[in-house]
Structure 1
Amino acid sequence: MRLKSKQHLALSSLALLTALSGCSQTSAPAIGNDHNIVYLNGQIYTQDAQRRKVDAIAVSNDKFVYSGNREGAEPYINQGYRVVDLEGKMVLPGLHDNHIHVLGTVPLDTCDLEGKSVNLGQLAEKVKECLPRYASEPGAWLKIDQWVPYENNEPTDTYKTIRQTLDAVADGHPIILSGVDGHASAYNSKALSMAQDEQGNTVGFNTKTLGKGGVFAELAPYVSLDSGVVRDAAKEKIPVGNFDMFAQEVGEPRGEAVYGAILPKVAQVMAKNGITSIQDACSNDFIREQFVKMQQQNLLNMRITAATCFIADDYKGKVDIAGHLKKAQEVRAAFAGNPLIKADAVKIFADGVLEGDPFSKPPFSPNAGMLHNYQTPHLKQNEETGLVTVTKNSEDSKNNGIVNYRAEDFKNYASALDADGFSIHVHSIGDRATRVTIDALEAARQRNGDRHIPHTIAHLQVVHPDDQARLGKLGTFLTYTYAWINQQPEYDMLITPFLEQSKKGQDISDVLYNPKSYTWGAIYPVGSTAKAGAVLVAGSDAPVDTRDPRPFMNIAAGITRAIPGQPAYNAGQSATLQQMLDAYTINGARAVRQEKLIGSIEPGKSADFIVLDRNLFDLVQQGKPEQIADTQVVQTVFRGNTVYGQ
C-alpha cells in the first residue's frame, strides 16, 4: 500500500508545545525540500531506553529530529515539513541481522535446489536436468546449490544412498551437492576420488586414506564413505571449481561477473525484509569488494560490519595469531573512514556441526565439540510407514567431537584480538566448544580488563547449565537463530540419538523429547541465558537453511519455540516479544558498537525505520504469536530515504 501525504493545521501556541511531556526533539532546521518529513498517526515503538511508544516522528535529511506526540510535531509542520500519515501502522527501528552471509541471499545462475528437501529419485532427476546446462563439457564439475543435508534424502526402489544416486546419473562428471548449512556437502565417487593431500597429490577419500595411519586419518570424522557426505575441513581437500563466495579471488572475471549481477537483488532482499544493518559473519577480500561495489553503485541501503574470517585456518586448528591480527588490522584500517562499512570484528569457528546420520552404515557421528562422548544409536526406519524404532541399546562412541583450537591457543587468540580492540564473533555449536569459548573470553577479560567490547557467540545449539550462567555473568551477546528452535522429528532424529542414551524398544519420541533429559534443557537455552544476564541478539545465518533472512519468522519462533500447530521445544526457554524486538534493534546495534547511531528512534540518530502491516503486540495479546511470522514490511526507510515500499 502507499502511505498518504496530507496537510495539517498548525496549533496556536508554540510555547505550549515545547512544554508538552513525552517528547524528544532537536531544534528544527529551516527547510524547503523533500528531505524533511513528519510521520504522524503511527504506533511507533522507539526502542529507546524507556521503550516509549509515540505517534509522531520528524526526519530531517538523514536524522531523526523529533519523536513524541502529535502536538509536538506541529513546529516542524509549520516550517514546511511534508506530512505522511502512517494510518495507525506499527513502526520499528530498522532491523539488525547479526549473523548473515548476505551474498548468499540471492541465487546465482547455477543448478539450485532452493533449499527444498528431495528424495533420492527427485535428486537424480535434478542432476539429469542440470547436467546439459551447467556441465556441458565432458568431465566438468556439476555443482548443485542449496541441498538440504538433514531432511528427506529418502531412498527409492532404484536409489539407496546419496553417493549411489549421484554415481548412477553422473555420466562421467564429478558432482557436489552444496549443503544449505555451509558445513556439509555430498559427492559422487568420482569427486571423492579427487581428494588431494597437502602436497597436491590426488589420493582420494577411501578406506585406506581415511583409516588408521592413512594420509586423511584425522579427517575421518568429517567423511562418510557410505553416503558421500563430507563436512567442514575435509571439503577443502576436494578441488572444486565453483562460485562459492568463500572461494572467489578478487579480480577473477567469472566470479566478479556472477556476483556483480546479483548485487541489486541483494539490496532488494535486505530492504524488503526491513534489514538496515548486518554483520556479515565471514568476510574475505572478495566479499568485502562486493560491498564496496554496492556502495559505489548506491545500492548499499544498510550498514555492514564485515567480520574478517580465517575459516580454512580455523578448521585446521592453525595457530597464526600474529598473521591473523595483521590481516584484520589492515582490513579495519582500510574501512576506517567509511560511513557504511566497517571491519572491526573477527570471526572464529570453534567447532563444526551437531547433525549426524543414524541410518548410515556405520552411523555417521556429529563432529561438534561436546563435553560427553556421543552415543552410537541403532535405529531403523520402516520404508513404507516412516516409523523409526530403536533396534538395540546405544553405545558410547568414544568420540566427543572436535574443538578447532586447543584451550590455551584459543585464550591467547581471543586475548590478542580483544587487546587490539576487535569484537570477537564465534561460531559455537557443541557444549564443549561453548565452554572453551567462554574460557577464552574470560581469559581476555582477566588479562586485558573489561574493555567493554561486545563479543558475540552464534548458534549455541547445546549449552551446559553451568555455562548458561557464565554467559550471563560475562554479559556476552548471544546470536541465536530462533527459527531453528522447534520440535521437528525428522531433523531431531539426526541429533538427539547421538546425545542421549537409547534403549532397545524405547519409543523414539521419548528419546527425542524427554523433559528430564540433559538435551531438553541445554538445546538453545534462550530464556535461561537471558535471565542470567546475557544479551540476546538475532542472526538469520542466511543462506543456511534458507536464503530468506525471515526476521519475523525468527521473532515468532523465539516466542513460541514451535512450528505452528506442533508442541514447543521446551517452552520454558521462550523469549518475550519485547526481548525479540530488542534483539533485532537496540541490542543488535550494541552488538556492533553502533548504539549511539542506530538501533532506536531518537533525535540525532540515523533515520532508519520500518513500517509493518500489523501490530505484533496485538498478536501476542490475542494469543496468536505464531502469526508474527506472516508480517510484511510496508516501508523501509534508511538514512531518511525510502528504500522499499509496497
Structure 2
Amino acid sequence: MIPPERLRRRTLLATGLASVAAIPSAVAPAASPRPRSGAALVVHNARVLTGVAGAPPQEAIAVGRDGRVLATGPSAVVRRHAGRDTDVVDAAGATVMSGIVDGHAHPVGAGVRSLKLSLEHRSFTVDQLQGTLRGFLEESDGSEPDGWLEVVDWNPVGLLPPGTEAHHRILDALPTRRPVALIGADGHVAWVNRRALDLAGIDRGTPDPPAGSIARGPGGEPTGILRDDALYAVTRLIPGPGGEQLYDACSRVLTRAAAQGVTTFLDAACTDWELGVYAALASSDRLPQRVAAALRLDPDEVADPPEALAWLREARAKHREVPGLAIRTAKVFLDGVIEHPSRSAALLDPYLDGDGRPTDHRGDLHATGARFAKLATLLDRHGFQVHAHAVGDRAVRTALDGYEAARRANGPRDNRHTIAHLQLVHPDDLPRFRRLGVVACMQLQWAMRNEWTVEALLPYLGERRHRWLYPARGLERNGAVLAGGSDWPVDPLGVWNQIRTAEDREGNSARQGALYPEREGLERASALRMHTAGSAYQLRMDRLVGRLTPGRAADLVVLDRDVTRIPVQQVGDAQVRLTLVGGKPVFDADTEEGKRVRAEMMLSPLTSARPASYPGTGTGTGTGSGAGRSRCGCGAPGPATARA
C-alpha cells in the first residue's frame, strides 16, 4: 500500500510578470483572462491500465479539458501536455485504471435501505431475534398499534440452531399489535406476522401469484414466509421515504460508491418510480455516476411483448433529456433463488432432499420458453437489450434458447443480451454464450464457501452440480464476454473484494475457505477487465467508458497501490484516492469532503443505516460485513414499484 501522503499533487501556475501587478490600475491596460492551456490533469509515475487486452501498463495519463483521455504513455512524453494551470498528480507507482462499471446493481434501493432498520445479515436464535425486534419496537413505540415495523437485511438461512423454521408465530409473540415484516437480504423472501398477513388479505384461499409463492403449513395455512412476487401483497402497504429525505439518502450512498471507484451503474430493475428519483438527482447535480436503467417487466408484460415495447419506448422518450441516464434495456425474471429454504431457482434436474435423495421439485420458471422467446425476439428487433435474471441451469437454458430464437428471427443485431447471476450453468451451455453473443454478468463476491454455498446448498444439489457453481473460468475459456456486477445492496458494496473473490474464490469474509479456485478462479487481469471493459461492453457503452484510450471519457480511478502486483489477499483492501467521471472529480480523498466520506465508510459498511451498536443487534452472530448473500436483490420492491 502506498501511504496517502506520497500521492503528491501540485498545480502548475503561471509565472512572473510581477511588474505588471505593480502598475497602478488607473493606467494599466484592462486585463483579459489568459487562455487555459494544456491538459486539465496529468497523472504520472503510475501504472496506468488502459484496459486494452494484452497492452502493457503505461506510466502516465493526460486528461483533456473536454473530459476525455488525451494521451497515455511514458511520463516524459505525457507531461508535455501539462500547461501552466494543469493539475499534476504523482501517483507514486499506484494503479490508475478505468472506473468500475457495475453491470448489475440497485442504487436507489440502496438509498432506500439506508433509511431502514436493519438486522445486518446476522444469524440469531429465536430469543436473540425477538430481543432485537423488541428493541426496535421500544424505539418506535409511538407507532402502536398500526404503524409497520419493517426491518431489512434479514438472513433467511440464519435462524439458529440450524433447521429452525421461520413461522409467523415467532413474530406474533412480540409485545405489539403492529404489522411486522422482515425483508430478506436477497429481496426474494419476506417473513411477516399474522397482522401483516391479515392486512395483505393473505389466507388459506389466497392463490400464489404468477411469479411467486406463499409458504403454507400442512393444513394450507400461510406460515408467514412470502417468496418473490408474493412479497408485493405486503410491501405495497408499507409507506416508503420520499422527497428530500430520499434524494439525500441516494446522494449519500452514490457518493460513497464513487469513493469505491464506481463510475457507471446498471440499475437492474427500474420502474417509473426509480426513473423519477434519477431525474430528480440529476436535476440537482446529485448524480455522480452514469446510470443505465433496465426497466423491470412484470409477468403480464412478459406475456404481452407489444405492451412491454410500448412502455420501454414511452419511458425512454420521457427521460431522454435526463443527463447521465440511458434507457435501452428490459429486465426479466426467469426464476428465483437457489438456496434452501427458498429453492425457487429453476433447475434441469430436481433438487435433493438434503439427504441425497431426489425430490420432484425443480424450482419455479417464471416464464415459459416460448413466451420469453417471443418477447426477446420483438425487443431485439427494435434495438432493446434483454437482461435476464437466471440463477438455476434451467432458467439459464431458457434464456439462451430465447436469445437464440431472436437471433434466428432477426439475425445478429449486437444488442448484447445478458444473463445475470449464473449461479448454476450446465456445462453443455457454456459454449452457447460466445456463439449467441450473450454477455455473462456475474456477482463473484458470492463465490466462496460459507453458510449460503455449503449448508444451504450443497446437500440440495449434490457434489457434481455443486462443482458447477459460478463457472467464471469455464465461461471465459469458452469465449464468453464476462461482466461484473455487485447486486448492491444485497451485500454492502465492496468493489475490490468482488475483484479479489473473482480470482481467489474466497474473498475477505469467507468462513469456510475457497470455492473451487483451481477450477473456476480467474486471472487478475480478467477479474479487473470484467468489472471495467466487460461491463462497459454489456451496457453498450464500450466506445465511451471501460478503457483509458484517447478519445474515451476520462472515467478513471487513482488507487493507493499497484493492484496488478500485490498478493491477491491485499486486493480487497485497495483504497481509491481519486475518482473522475468525464474528467470531473466525484471523489477526492484529499479534500475535506473526501475525508468525511471515508470516515463514514470506516464506521459502517455501505448498506443500511442501523449501526451494529444498536441495542440488541450485537447479540446475533455472523456477517455484519455482508459475507456473500449468494442471491439477487433485484426482486426487492421499492416504496412504489407499481408503474404510474
Bin for the TM-score computed over the shorter chain: 0.7 to 0.9
**Which SS does the other structure have where 1:177 is aligned?**
strand
CA distance 1:217–1:554, change in 2 (3 Å): closer
- Give the one of 321, 325, 328 matched to 2:309: 325
1:231 pairs with 222, 227, 232, which one? 227
- The answer as to 2:68 corresponding to 1:63 is yes
CA contact (8 A) 1:456 1:476 kept: yes
> Following superposition of structure 1 onto structure 2, how do residues 615-626 of structure 1 map, counting pairs within 5 Å?
615-619=562-566, 624-626=567-569
Deviation at 1:162, TM superposition (A): 4.8
Identical-residue share of aligned pairs (%)? 28
- TM-score computed with the length of structure 1 as normaliser: 0.81
Q: Structure 1 557/152 Cα, relative in aligned 2: closer, same or farther at 3 Å?
A: farther
Pick the aligned partner of 2:9 from 5, 9, 34: 5
**2:203 alignment counterpart:** 205
> What is the 5 A alignment of 1:74-223?
74-77=79-82, 80-106=85-111, 107-134=113-140, 136-154=143-161, 161-195=166-200, 202=201, 204-206=202-204, 209=205, 215-216=207-208, 222-223=214-215
Match of 2:385? 423
Alpha-carbon separation, structure 2, partners of 1:188 and 1:617: 50
Q: How big is the shift at 1:519?
A: 2.5
User: Residue deviations 1:141-198, cap 9 Å, x none?
Assistant: 2111111112344489xx9745332111152122110111010111112223344xxx
Matched, 1:375 2:347: no
Q: Which amino acid aligns with 1:376?
A: D
After superposition, residues 3-42 of structure 1 pair within 5 angstroms as 3-6=7-10, 32=36, 36-42=40-46
- Asked if structure 2 preserves the Cα contact closer than 8 Å seen for 1:162 and 1:228, the reply is yes
With CA pairs under 8 Å and 6+ residues apart, which has the higher RCO, 1 or 2? 2
Alignment of 1:115-514 (within 5 A): 115-134=121-140, 136-154=143-161, 161-195=166-200, 202=201, 204-206=202-204, 209=205, 215-216=207-208, 222-225=214-217, 228-238=224-234, 240-243=236-239, 254-310=241-297, 313-314=298-299, 319-357=303-341, 366-377=343-354, 393-489=355-451, 491-500=453-462, 514=463
Which deviates more from structure 2 when the two are superposed, residues 527-536 or residues 71-80? Answer: 71-80
1:395-431 residue CA offsets vs partner (Å, 9 max, x unmatched)? 4332211111111111000001111101111100111
Contact 1:438 1:470 in 2 (8 A): yes
Counterpart secondary structure, 2:388: strand
Distance 1:416 1:170, change over 3 A: farther
CA distance in 2, matches of 1:494, 1:565: 14
- 2:59 counterpart SS class: strand
Change (3 A) 1:82 1:543: closer
Quick one: structure 1 residues 490 and 417, their matched pair in 2 at CA, closer, same or farther if it must change by over 3 Å?
Answer: closer
Instruction: Check whether the contact 1:108–1:258 (CA below 8 A) recurs between aligned residues.
Output: no
Instruction: Provide the TM-score with structure 2 as the length reference.
Output: 0.81
SS at structure 2 position matched to 1:53: coil
Shift of 1:237: 3.0
- Residue 456 (structure 1) shift: 1.1
Distance 2:551 2:396 in 1: 38
Distance 1:322 1:550, change over 3 A: same
Asked if the contact 1:42–1:91 (Cα under 8 Å) also holds between the matched residues in 2, the reply is yes
Cross-structure match for 2:570: 627
What SS class does the counterpart of residue 331 from structure 1 fall into? helix
Identify the residue that residue 49 of structure 2 maps to in structure 1.
Answer: 45
After superposition, where does 1:547-558 map in structure 2 within 5 Å? 548-558=492-502
Report the CA distance between 1:7 and its aligned residue. Answer: 7.5
Q: C-alpha displacement at 1:490, in angstroms?
A: 5.7
CA distance, structure 2, for counterparts of residue 478 and residue 79 of structure 1 = 46
Alignment of 1:528 onto 2:490: no
Amino acid in the other structure paired with 1:41: N
Shift of 1:257: 4.2
1:83 aligned counterpart, secondary structure:
strand
Q: Is the 8 A contact 1:155 1:161 kept in 2?
A: no
Report the aligned-residue RMSD.
Answer: 2.7
Note the C-alpha offset of 1:112.
Answer: 1.8
1:508-552 C-alpha deviation (Å, 9 max, x unpaired)? xxxxxx4xx1331x21111111111111111100111x2x22111
List per-residue Cα deviations over 1:256-296 (Å, max 9, x = no partner).
34412313202212211100001000011111111112211
Q: Deviations for 1:549-586, whole angstroms, at most 9, x for unmatched residues?
A: 21111111111112568542122111111111111111
Q: CA deviation at 1:455?
A: 1.1
Given that 1:347 and 1:424 are in contact with CA atoms closer than 8 Å, whether structure 2 keeps it comes out as yes
Partners in 1 of 2:530 and 2:550 — Cα distance? 21
1:52: how far off? 3.4
Aligned-pair CA distance for 1:82: 3.2
Shift of residue 631 of structure 1?
1.2
Paired residue secondary structure (2:263): strand
- Alpha-carbon distance in 1 for matches of 2:290, 2:580: 13
Q: In structure 1, how many angstroms separate the alpha carbons of the residues matched to 2:243 and 2:106?
A: 17
Alignment counterpart, residue 589 of structure 1, candidates 517, 532, 536: 536
Q: Secondary structure at the match of 1:176?
A: strand
Matching residue within 567, 575, 591 for 2:522: 575
Quote the offset at 1:331 in angstroms. Answer: 1.3
Contact 1:141 1:240 in 2 (8 A): no
Structure 2 Cα separation of the partners of residues 78 and 258 of structure 1: 43
- The answer on whether the counterparts of 2:213 and 2:226 sit within 8 Å (CA) in structure 1 is no
How far, CA to CA, are the matches of 2:108 and 2:421 in structure 1?
20
| Paired residue type of 1:463 | V
**Cα 1:394–1:191 shift into 2, 3 Å:** farther
- Work out whether residues 302 and 372 of structure 2, in 8 Å CA contact, stay in contact via their aligned partners in 1: no
Q: 1:635 to 1:243 in 2, by over 3 A?
A: farther
Distance in 1 (alpha carbons) for counterparts of 2:301 and 2:319: 28
Cα pair distance change 1:587/1:227, threshold 3 Å: same
**Contact 1:108/1:259 (<8 A) preserved:** no
Would you say how many aligned residue pairs link Structure 1 and Structure 2?
556
Q: CA deviation at 1:39?
A: 1.4
Work out the CA distance in 2 between the residues paired with 1:342 and 1:177: 33
Mark the CA change 1:217 to 1:56 in structure 2 (over 3 Å): closer, same or farther: closer
Q: Is the 8 A contact 1:31 1:79 kept in 2?
A: no
CA distance in 1, matches of 2:391, 2:179: 31
